[in-house]
Amino acid sequence: MKKFELYKFIHENNVEYHWHENDVILMPNFDEAKEFNELLPASIFDDSGIECIMKDGYLCIYMESICSYCDIEMFDVFPNESNR
């Protein structure tokens, strides 16, 4: 996954996200989660996969480890809410 692909996915789909301490929680709905999954490199699932929290109609996905794995600077994709 490239920085631009992630940025485009989030902003074209208007996917909600929030900073939580030093991490970002991405909240795609179930339909968007399938598209998000297709962006991820298959090798990211090799060890233990990606942990997420299922809510009513959407998932909560912590992005720090995903961005790190894909060599993406989180501030480039997710402006800090205090800097908006």
Q: What is the mean pLDDT of the chain?
A: 90
Mean pLDDT of 47-54: 86
**Per-residue pLDDT band at 78 (split at 50, 70, 90):** very high
Query: What is the pTM for the complete model shown?
Result: 0.87
Residue 38, burial from CB neighbour count under 10 angstroms (0-12, 13-18, 19+): exposed
Which DSSP letter does residue 20 get? E
Q: What is the pLDDT of residue 18?
A: 95
Q: When comparing pLDDT for 82 and 7, which is higher?
A: 7
Task: Report yes or no: 9 and 27 within 8 Å, Cβ to Cβ.
Answer: no
